[in-house]
Amino acid sequence: MQIKDIIKKVKQIEIRTKRKSEATLMGQYHSAFKGQGMTFSEVRPYQFGDEIRRIDWNKTARFREPFVKVMEEERELIIMLLVDISASMDYGTKTQLKREFVAEIAASLGFSAAGNNDKVGLILFADKVYKVIPPQKGRKHILAIISTILSAEYVPAPSKFDAALQYMMGIFKKRSFIFLFSDFEDSYDLKILRVASQKHQILGMRIYDEKDNEIPDIGYALFQDAETGKQIYVNTSNARWRYEFAEKQKQKVKNLEEDFASSAGTLININTGEDYSKVLYRYFKK
């Protein structure tokens, strides 16, 4: 994609997503993240109606009367967008490539965060971390992130999102909200996912094309793995082969959802061309 095409695409995405984020996501985003971080403010005497769990038992014992801790909302959040740039993300059979779809979702989240005065950062990864944009605020910063996602060289290598999470834990000490974009086609270290979920809040966003789940009957066809280059001829007219392929994909997604759930994270599946704003709205509301 040439520079002029990237600039044009970024402008188009900005127009579409700002309208969506302002009309649909902004309010729900604020509600979802309200009070995510709380910081200590002061200790004062207990008043009728105060929550018992706020009682400062040390000070209460010392002065022989109840005192409570006053907490205030730590409004500023850090939103990290972890984007898979393995070659399988540079693919699509509908209206958009996965990478373009990710850029649009990232833009909506970014503009919602910017409207809430939150910082947004970006990590591009495949078999390792390839690029990092530190968290910052503002519209220009969000546009730079969108441009980076669109212009990235997509890598013919297996995707290792656990490597990106491990990098994230080593660099970012403050608790952050991670939006993890990938098609999750490759293996990963579950232990790293679980450790990262204890330190950060993680939402896995599985971006998939409908042909990832089911292969149509097109006769004999040559398939090539975009990440390894491995090729294989398949008779797609074989109904049993198509059924077994679809079942394996279903099981893979089920295992992925269970792994995220057991790690205190969340996984949502979004099909390219789907109205992602409704999916995100339901997630924030939940």
Tell me the pLDDT tens digit for each residue of 124-151: 999 999 999 999 999 899 999 999 999 9
Whether the predicted pLDDT of 28 surpasses 60: yes
Residue 133 host element (H or E): strand 129-136
User: What residue spans of the chain are helical by DSSP H?
Assistant: 3-20, 26-33, 57-63, 98-115, 139-151, 161-171, 190-199, 210-213, 239-262, 276-285
Tokens coding 208: 């998939």
Q: In the 8-state DSSP scheme, what is residue 51?
A: -
Question: Kind and range of the H or E element at 215?
Answer: none
How far is it, in rounded angstroms, from Cα 104 to Cα 15?
10
Q: What is the pLDDT of residue 34?
A: 58
Residue-level pLDDT at 76: 67
* Position 270 pLDDT exceeds 90: yes
Least confident of 38-47, 153-162, 165-174: 38-47
Q: What is the pLDDT of residue 77?
A: 80
Q: Could you tell me the domains of the chain?
A: 3-33+75-285 (3.40.50.410), 38-73 (no CATH)
Alpha-carbon separation of residue 138 from 43, 117, 150, 172 (angstroms): 35, 8, 19, 20
User: Exposed, middle or buried: residue 202 (CB in 10 Å: 0-12, 13-18, 19+)?
Assistant: buried
pLDDT tens digits for 209-262? 988 888 888 999 888 887 778 889 999 999 999 999 999 999 999 999 999 999
Distance CA 193, CA 79 (A): 18
d(CA 10, CA 5) in angstroms, rounded, equals 9
Answer yes or no: is pLDDT of 20 > 90: no
Positive or negative torsion for Cα 278, 94, 101, 236: positive
109 sits in the region (left: phi over 0; alpha: psi -120 to 50; else beta) called alpha
Decide if pLDDT at 206 tops 60: yes
